[in-house]
Amino acid sequence: MAPTRSSKDVKAITALALDGPANSLDALSELHILQEAASRWAFDSDRDLRGDAVHPKDMFDIIGGTGISGFYAILFTRLNLTIGQAIQAHRILEERLFVTEVWMSKNQNASLDVLQTTLREIEKELEVGISLDLPLEEKGPFSKG
């Protein structure tokens, strides 16, 4: 007879799936809702943190998203930003990306250049010490070749 495992032996995997909102205000609302959830998580787990100081990757095993929310997933996982820092980064994004027509352009390389430049500005402005040299595929829709 095979050994059985109780539910106490199995750790649940937690995932944060962020849906790409329709506009900048909805995107900002998504971050504020996450901040409230983080405040409750910090309180429930006896952590001495405010919601804006929580790193979502401490709360979730997997983080992903679509559209601008996919960008938030990069901020939380690759740059290890807190929710408060992501709200600051959102404001930088509004200034740099949402006002440029390049972001909505069919020229994907131009959009990627704007996004990478904005990531570097966020890194500098928020003093995040992680390299943003994101590798690009040699072939594919976002390649520079």
Tens digits of per-residue pLDDT, 70-117? 888 988 988 888 999 999 988 888 777 666 555 555 555 666 777 778
pLDDT of 33 strictly over 50: yes
Token match 């006896």: residue?
A: 46
Mean pLDDT value across residues 128-134: 56
Tens digits of per-residue pLDDT, 40-78? 888 888 777 777 788 899 899 999 998 888 888 988 988
Q: What is the pTM of this model?
A: 0.70
Q: How far is CA 92 from CA 31, 113, 118, 124, in A?
A: 14, 16, 8, 11
Q: Do residues 109 and 144 make contact, with C-beta atoms less than 8 angstroms apart?
A: yes
Mean pLDDT value across residues 130-137: 50
